[in-house]
A and B are shown apart, each in its own frame.
Chain A
Amino acid sequence: MYLDNERRPTLTPQLAFRVAVIGGVALVMFALVFFRLWYLQVLSGDKYEAQAQNNRVREIKVQAPRGEIVDRHGQPLVENRHSLSIKLTPDKLPEDLGTREQVYRRLAKLLNLNPRRFEKRVEGELKAVPFAKPTVKQDVSQDIVAYVLERSSQFPGVEPESEFLRRYPYGQVGAHLFGQVGEVTEKQLKDQRYNGVSLGDRVGQAGIESEYDRFLRGRNGAARVEVDALGNLTNTLKRHQPLQGKQLRLSLDLDVQRVAQQALEGGTGKGAFAVMDANNGEVLALGSEPSFDPNIFTRPLSQKRLDALSSDEFGKPLFNRAIQGGYPTGSTFKLITATAALESGHITPDTLLNDPGVLKVGGQEFKNSGNVAHGALALREALTVSSDVFFYQLGQYMDEKGMPLQKWGHRLGIGRRTGIDLPGEAPGRLPTPQWRDRWYKQGLTDRPWSVGDNINLSVGQGDLLANPLQMAVAYAAIANGGRVLRPRLGLRIEDASGQAIQQLDAPTARRLKIPQADRDAILEGLHGAASAPGGTSTPVFAGFPIPIAGKTGTAEHIGRPDQSWYVALAPYPNPKYVVAVTDEAGGFGADTAAPMTRRILAELLDVHETGLVQGGGSPD
């Protein structure tokens, strides 16, 4: 302790101790700081270095336009259009909900949206996928983009983005084939097929867009830029130009497709068609009625309109009846019954069977439609006049060990997917004793298999479910010497100028051994049906300059109008094309489906027709 302030003090032990305490505290603190710095800078330096890089470098994705889709002549079917949209960037939005709501309100007012619904939707999307950038509105004007950019402080986290959207210049034409493009799902990201795709990218989600996605999708460009703390760009470090996806050329013929859709529109409102090259499986037209304009999917769509597109009330426009439908095919099935009977040895082309107008089996009567009696006839004539009783008898004979009708039906592609390059195909159903008995055991039907089921099947009635594409494949097989083709739409991959990059291989066909004499007999019968006196569709094709072979079909539905079918092979005798058409409520095959087929064939074979095609002919 100092005794006198004026003198030089001696360092008392207490003061010395206290100074030592202060020195000790300083020592401990310096040690602490040094150790911490050692840990941060020397031991964790790399980690923080990476973090600093991460801070300053941003990857900006530049969306690549998808490849276009063109028809076999190079006509564009699916194009790209440039669109400005307003999006939200979650990590730049205000964290506090109140402030965020203010931004939403401002945006809703600017974009003319219902503020309540808008907020609910956006907040929902933010919660569901935390890193996604929810789209506020697509296709906004340049003015709105400029407004938002100029007032970025009022719109934190709101960013305009330019993106490519699909455009379908011909609207409804081919609508069922292309499918949509949408943001990649998490499940898809794990799939090998989507290698190189990253979150937020748009990929084909249905139809051809999905089937050929790996060609159609481009490679996104990227810019590595340096930004400062406010997100302002300070430097561009590296830039990859986006690479547009490749162009896909389809076997589709725009004109045939359009005419076919127009023909179907003239029907009862629900139907489908398939037009295929009978020798190589190239699909020239494939469609379903009612149709829709796929352009609506490139804009946000209300749930109500979306529901309407798949509702029964409007005929399920999104449903592709040509490959997903399942119908009894009526007499068009007789081609298969004839093949089965010939190849299982029950008849030769010249075997005569009697048609008294009715076949009685086990107390049940199976009648010709229209109650006519054709008398004794062989296969050709039976096909020409569409004698049911002739084929009933074949069905009855073939209800035997080995079930040749089912065997040949299966071989010709009934009850199984054709393998066309479109997702979502339905196999349909070829009824068999095993199937029916199983259903019976499970209580799904009231009785087991009986011979009557086979008799019904022989004329395309009963439990059979098939679609126009399956029928086209079966008819083509008889016409082309026994090759069951796998239909295909994709022809080749091209660059933007149409130069081929890669031919898509024609899929292999299954070969069936069917003697030429048998095939000729069937084709002659079908040719007669469209040309000979008494042929079921002879009146429809009267005056048509190119000979064809064709078969009408009328499928009966309980409590509903009959379904009209027609399958044609043209030109006869060396068919190049097969056309299968059905109208769900068109009545006799000759009434609706056959005239539609004539219109399609006229376009296909370049026949200029004057005047309206009249339906009509004998029942089948």
Chain B
Amino acid sequence: MHASTTAVRDFRDSRAHFLRIDPLMLVATLGLIAASIYTVGTATQDDIKGDPNYFVYRQAAYAAVGFVLMLLMTRFDYSRLREWKLGVYTVLIGSIVLVYMLGFSARGSRRAIELPFFNFQASELGKLLLIVALAGFAVDRIRRLTDGETTSRLALLAVIPAMLVVAQPDLGSGLVYLAVLGAILFIAGTPWTHFAALGGLAAIAIVVVLVAAPAVGVEVLKPYQKDRLTAFLNPGEHGGKEAYQINQSLTAIGSGGKTGRGDQATQTKLDFLPEHHTDFVFSVVGEEFGFVGAALVLSLFALLIWRALRTLTMAKNFYGALVAGGITAMLMFQVFVNVGMTISIMPITGIPLPLMSYGGSSVITTLMAIGLLQSIHAQARETAAGKRL
């Protein structure tokens, strides 16, 4: 492990280090955070009587904490995490189980642990923990990456926490875990045949969960979860709450037109749009700022994902590439499923929009993940610079 000590020594010159981070990624990050605070601020002015800034202050505080953590992560030698993979994985499973147990006493909600200022949602942080751990396990089997055994081991490692969070019930996070698994396997070079096999298994699982199990009387998904998954297929005909949410979201986004309704954004202000500061925050952007605003936010996400992918290709080591790949997948999946949900091309799964949706767990986790990307980027440029010398 002498190499990592060298790395740490090199980083003592912190000014030089910060010059090596990706400025475009930082711009995208800051832009999205700013957009989030502004949007959450306008959307929640009337939500809590007498405290118009309740949500915006909290979101700003989460962003500040997350930003500090991001900077710390930037300076952190991410390769250390590879060594800690078992510990990280244990924390991942442990925190989910802990939520499971503590959640029982907290009014039936088993998604979060209530802390004095903040509900800690273990499944959010779990997204990053899973990436870090899974990449570590993959690197361990670097010479047997094309073995079926490697693929199935990694799959099992991801499916266990995924099942646990789905049971919380947090279907969205479970799906993100599976997306992360797919990305890490993909970057690791898993053969296409393995993906085909995994895809087949997934298809069988879906059939069992949605069709076969209910037929014999075992309900794996809660009815509302099933409704959410199927409502987007025909929101007009569905009469339920899910169809209502989708229709209100479409109305909000559509009514925004080219440049938005600003103060007249009645869908948001009069509460027609549900969850307007969390899952449906993109609909608020669409209504208040129109196509221009929505396109701007999407462009920032595109910039972020582009820089993440570029970091993947630059990483100085395989572990860094895998972690960057996992983070890229996490961001991409969440952005597309969330935005897709608001414009009715994806089902409702309860996935937040990274950096934009109100919520400490999500914002802080995402900022830490971006910090990790910056660390990979900075170290890669450092190594390259060292070689050039």
Contacts and interface: CB of A to CB of B under 8 A. Distances in A.
A93 to B, nearest CB: 13
A7 B257 CA distance: 52
A9 B321 contact: yes
Contacts of A19: 187, 309, 312-313
Contact of B254 (A44, A227, A228): A44
Given A41-B291, A49-B255, A230 B321 contact: no
Contacts of B274: 229
Contacts of A228: 270-272
Give the interface centre of A14, A30, A34, A56 by most chain B CB atoms within 10 Å: A30
A159 to B, nearest CB: 20
Interface stretch (B57-65, B84-92, B245-253): B245-253
Interface stretch (A21-29, A126-134, A458-466): A21-29
Contacts of B189: 1, 14-15, 18
A11 B313 contact: yes
Nearest to A6: B3
A53 B266 CA distance: 8
20 contacts: A14-B189, A18-B189, A19-B309, A19-B312, A22-B325, A22-B332, A26-B309, A29-B332, A33-B340, A34-B298, A42-B258, A44-B254, A46-B257, A52-B267, A52-B287, A55-B251, A55-B272, A226-B270, A227-B270, A230-B271
A114 interface: no
Given A45-B255, A51-B255, A37 B270 contact: no
Given A2-B317, A41-B294, A230-B271, 8 more contacts: A2-B142, A8-B317, A9-B316, A21-B186, A26-B302, A26-B306, A40-B286, A229-B270
A52 B298 contact: no
B291 A38 contact: yes
B183 interface: yes
A153 interface: no
Interface string B295-322: 1001000100110010011011111010
Give the interface centre of A44, A52, A53 by most chain B CB atoms within 10 Å: A52
Contact of A9 (B291, B295, B317, B328): B317
A281 B42 CA distance: 73
A215 B342 CA distance: 52
Given A5-B142, A26-B302, A41-B256, A229 B319 contact: no
Interface of A: 1-2, 5-9, 11, 14-16, 18-19, 21-23, 25-26, 29-30, 32-34, 36-38, 40-42, 44-49, 51-53, 55-56, 95, 226-230, 234
A9 B317 CA distance: 6
Contacts of A26: 302, 305-306, 309, 332
B318 A9 contact: yes
A52 B272 CA distance: 9
A49 B312 CA distance: 43
Contact of A56 (B145, B272, B298, B318): B272
B351 to A, nearest CB: 14
A15 B190 CA distance: 11
Contacts of B294: 37, 41
Contacts of B270: 55-56, 226-229, 234
Contacts of A46: 257
B339 interface: yes
Given A15-B189, A34-B298, A229-B272, A29 B3 contact: no
B187 A18 contact: yes
Interface residues of B, number: 58
B298 A41 contact: no
B384 interface: yes
B383 interface: yes
Contact of A47 (B3, B187, B254, B317): B254
B151 to A, nearest CB: 15
Nearest to A29: B336
B345 interface: yes
Contacts of A8: 316-317, 380, 383-384, 387
Contact of A15 (B187, B253, B255, B266): B187
A42 B292 CA distance: 10
A11 B291 CA distance: 38
Contacts of A95: 239
A203 B356 CA distance: 56
B137 to A, nearest CB: 13
Contacts of A22: 183, 186, 309, 325, 328-329, 332
B198 interface: no
B85 to A, nearest CB: 13
Contacts of A230: 271
Interface of B: 3, 139, 142, 145, 183, 186-187, 189, 239, 248, 250-258, 261, 266-267, 270-272, 274, 286-287, 290-291, 294-295, 298, 302, 305-306, 309, 312-313, 315-319, 321, 325, 328-329, 332, 336, 339-340, 343, 345, 380, 383-384, 387
A45 to B, nearest CB: 4
Contact of A5 (B286, B312, B318, B380): B318
B219 to A, nearest CB: 19
B260 to A, nearest CB: 9
Contacts of B318: 2, 5, 9
B254 A51 contact: yes
Nearest to A44: B254
B385 to A, nearest CB: 11
Contacts of B298: 30, 33-34, 37
Contact of A36 (B271, B302, B313, B345): B345
B343 A37 contact: yes
B139 A51 contact: no
B295 to A, nearest CB: 7
A228 B250 CA distance: 17
Contacts of A38: 291
A358 B264 CA distance: 96
Contacts of B286: 37, 40-41
Given A5-B139, A33-B343, A18 B186 contact: yes
Given A8-B384, A9-B318, A18-B186, A33 B339 contact: yes
A56 B316 CA distance: 56
Nearest to A11: B313
Nearest to B258: A42
A18 B190 CA distance: 11
Contact of B251 (A9, A51, A234): A51
Nearest to B140: A5
Contacts of A2: 142, 317-318
Given A1-B189, A2-B142, A230-B271, A7 B254 contact: no
Contacts of B183: 22
Given A8-B316, A16-B313, A22-B328, A52 B257 contact: no
Contacts of B252: 48, 52
Given A23-B309, A227-B270, A41 B251 contact: no
B182 to A, nearest CB: 10
A20 to B, nearest CB: 9
Contact of B271 (A25, A32, A48, A229): A229
A33 B317 contact: no
A15 B145 CA distance: 13
A15 B321 contact: yes
Nearest to B340: A33
B254 A45 contact: yes
A300 B154 CA distance: 73
B257 A5 contact: no
Contacts of B305: 26
A41 B254 contact: yes
Nearest to A234: B270
B387 to A, nearest CB: 7
Contact of B253 (A16, A32, A48): A48
Nearest to B187: A18
A461 to B, nearest CB: 70
